[in-house]
Amino acid sequence: MTALAAVLVRDMRIAVRVGGGALMGVLFFLVVATLVPFALGPDLALLQRIGPAILWLAALLASLLALDRLFAADHEDGSLDLILTGRTPLELVVLVKGVAHWLTTGVPLIVAAPLIGLMLNLDARAAGALVLTLLVGTPALTFIGLIGAALAVTLRRGGLLLAVLVLPLAVPVLIFGVAAANAAVIGPVPFGTPFTILCALTLASLVVGPFAAAAALRQEIE
Amino acid sequence: MAIADLANPSRFLKFANRTLPWLGGLTVIAFAFGINQAAIAPDDYQQGATVKIMFLHVPSAWLGMLAWGVMTIAALGTLVWRHPLADVTAKAAAPIGAAFTLMCLITGSLWGRPMWGTYWVWDARLTSVLLLFLLYLGVIALWRTVEDPSRAARAAAILTLVGAIDLPIIKFSVDWWNTLHQPASVFRLGAPTIDRSILIPLLIMAVAFTLLFFTLLLAAMRNEILRRRVRTLRLLQANAAS
Amino acid sequence: MQATAHVDFIVAAYAAAIVIVGALIGWVLLDYRTQLRRLADMEKRGFTRRSATERTGPTAEKAKADA
């Protein structure tokens, strides 16, 4: 277990350092959320209506940003080969890297969301529902993103391909995340229905993501 | 000649060269019959003549899903058995599947405008089919971006397997959710709910389109095998020049 | 009757189908000709496949491809 803990700590340390992408994710989140009112105009009622959707979209894009380097950096400096030839199962290492990614990218987003929600005129109830859906949904974004990151690992400018591959798979998470966030405020669907499905998506991605990503890594690196 | 003999690309080429003219001819005959039947089919009591769009929309929907199904089986062939033709099949099927999915979306949209009053609606069936189209584009992008064909095949295989989850979602979306798109009327428990005068042309067109799909697939597989030969020769040439 | 009002959509749908199917057939045919031309080109320059007979199969090609 110490090997996995070491991977976790290492990934988190790298992410937090300069160029690591952890704080960049939150910054991007802030930028997107700021840009939207400029594009839409300051109609507060409108912003409140679509606020959860904007923040979910921004969270998805911010997650994608940080995924780009997740495996590519390790591939470039050779640590991926070490991981592949090590004794720890690759699926577990990938899982742990996903956890590290979520802790450094997803959690700051969740913390920042209510504050940015203020800018979009979200009331306490909406912000609370949003935070809950992000809490449950951002892990899904991370673990689905792992698949794309693994498939694109050997490519030099794999970032765009990664996004193209990940987005169709992440759409259901987006749909149910926003549906749950809206349901708490607008109804008529009870919050529980889309929220439960969101939970199911996250749990499924926790399993499928690492397995698919590990398989992809093995095939790509040979 | 057993089916397993087809695994040899050279033998497959011979098989394709012999079979394609017959398959193509059969396709043309099926379409001639199908379009004739479609033209003389009666108007639906609700939809009027726009029901004739269904003769395009329903087969293209089935084919869009069939193609991904073929790719999924090929993906298993690539990853589990390393079957030589599996890579070729998967790569050949992707653009064909994408084209039929696009046709499904376009014809469905043109049907929806007069019937529902809108070209598009974000219900579960339409959204999941659109996602399938995006997945096709993603897999094609993957094929084109990874340089080595074997690596590309394996990466595409993994993406295909992950994306296959969309197929049951599409199929059951009209049952699970309250959608604008109507529920299943052909493939369902109990008898189909469409009247025979429209069901028969629909089935004939479906057969015609399926024959077209396999004709195109066979031809595209042949092209892909030839393309790999060209690539091998080019590598040979590059090595000889250096 | 609604039918005549919607004939534009029916025609458009069939036109779209013809364009898409036509594009598919065209792509397959063009690609075929391109590959045959390239193979003939290679043959002219003297590069042929080592397996002139049926005996060597995919393994020979794969070995060359991996080389």
pLDDT at position C3 over 70: no
Asked whether the bond before A188 is cis by omega within 30 degrees of 0, the reply is yes
In sequence order, which residues have a C-beta less than 8 Å from that of residue C49 and are 6 or more positions away? B229, B232, B233, C61
Alpha-carbon gap, residue B93 to B136, rounded angstroms:
10
In the structure, what pLDDT confidence band is assigned to residue B1 with cuts at 50, 70 and 90? very low
Please compute the mean of the pLDDT values over residues A198-221 and round it to a whole number.
Answer: 91
All chains having 3 or more CB pairs closer than 8 angstroms to chain B: A, C
Please compute the mean of the pLDDT values over residues A111-120 and round it to a whole number.
Answer: 86
ipTM of the complex as predicted = 0.87
Residue A178 with chain B: CB contacts under 8 Å: none
pLDDT digits (tens, 9 = 90+) for A16-56: 776 656 777 888 888 888 888 888 887 888 888 888 998 99
Please compute the mean of the pLDDT values over residues B43-72 and round it to a whole number.
Answer: 90
Domain that holds residue B228: 20-178+195-234
Nearest CB to B141 within list A147, A161, A212 = A161
All chains having 3 or more CB pairs closer than 8 angstroms to chain C: B
Residue B53 with chain C: CB contacts under 8 Å: 9-10, 13-14
Q: End-to-end CA distance of chain C, in Å?
A: 68
CB contact under 8 Å between C10 and B99, yes or no, is no
Residues in B whose CB is inside 8 Å of some CB of A read 79, 127, 131, 134-135, 137-138, 141-142, 145-146, 151, 154-155, 158-159, 161-163, 166
Substitution target in B28, B50, B81, B217 with the highest count of C β-carbons within 10 Å is B50
CB contact under 8 Å between A169 and B127, yes or no, is no
Q: Is B48 helix (H, G, I), strand (E, B) or coil?
A: strand
Domain that holds residue A68: 2-221
Q: What amino acid occupies position B160?
A: T
B144–chain C Cβ distance below 8 A for any pair: no
Residue A62: predicted pLDDT: 87
Residue B43: predicted pLDDT: 80
Chains C and B touch (3+ CB pairs under 8 A): yes
Comparing alpha-carbon positions, the chain B residue that sits nearest to A194 is B177
In sequence order, which residues have a C-beta less than 8 Å from that of residue B76 and are 6 or more positions away? B86, B157, B161
Please compute the mean of the pLDDT values over residues B55-59 and round it to a whole number.
Answer: 93
In sequence order, which residues have a C-beta less than 8 Å from that of residue B28 and are 6 or more positions away? none
Domain that holds residue C22: 2-66
Interface contacts B/C by beta carbons within 8 Å: 120
Alpha-carbon gap, residue A210 to A178, rounded angstroms:
25
Residue B58: predicted pLDDT: 93
CB contact under 8 Å between B227 and C14, yes or no, is no
How many domains, in total, are found in chain C?
Answer: 1
CB contact under 8 Å between B159 and A167, yes or no, is no
pLDDT digits (tens, 9 = 90+) for B73-125: 999 999 998 887 999 999 999 999 999 999 999 999 999 888 888 888 888 88
pLDDT at position C24 over 50: yes
Alpha-carbon gap, residue A171 to A201, rounded angstroms:
11
pLDDT at position A84 over 90: no
Tokens found for residue A187: 């109804």
CA atoms within 13 A on the CB side of A114: 13
Alpha-carbon gap, residue B212 to C61, rounded angstroms:
30
CA atoms within 13 A on the CB side of C34: 13
pLDDT at position A3 over 90: no
Alpha-carbon gap, residue B163 to C27, rounded angstroms:
25
pLDDT digits (tens, 9 = 90+) for B169-207: 888 887 777 777 777 777 666 667 777 888 889 999 999
Alpha-carbon gap, residue C16 to B224, rounded angstroms:
27
Q: Which residues is B44 bridged to in the sheet?
A: B48
How many domains, in total, are found in chain A?
Answer: 1
Alpha-carbon gap, residue A215 to A150, rounded angstroms:
9
Tokens found for residue B138: 């993603």
With CA atoms as reference, report the closest residue to B139 among A166, C27, A201.
Answer: A166
How many domains, in total, are found in chain B?
Answer: 1
CB contact under 8 Å between B162 and A208, yes or no, is yes
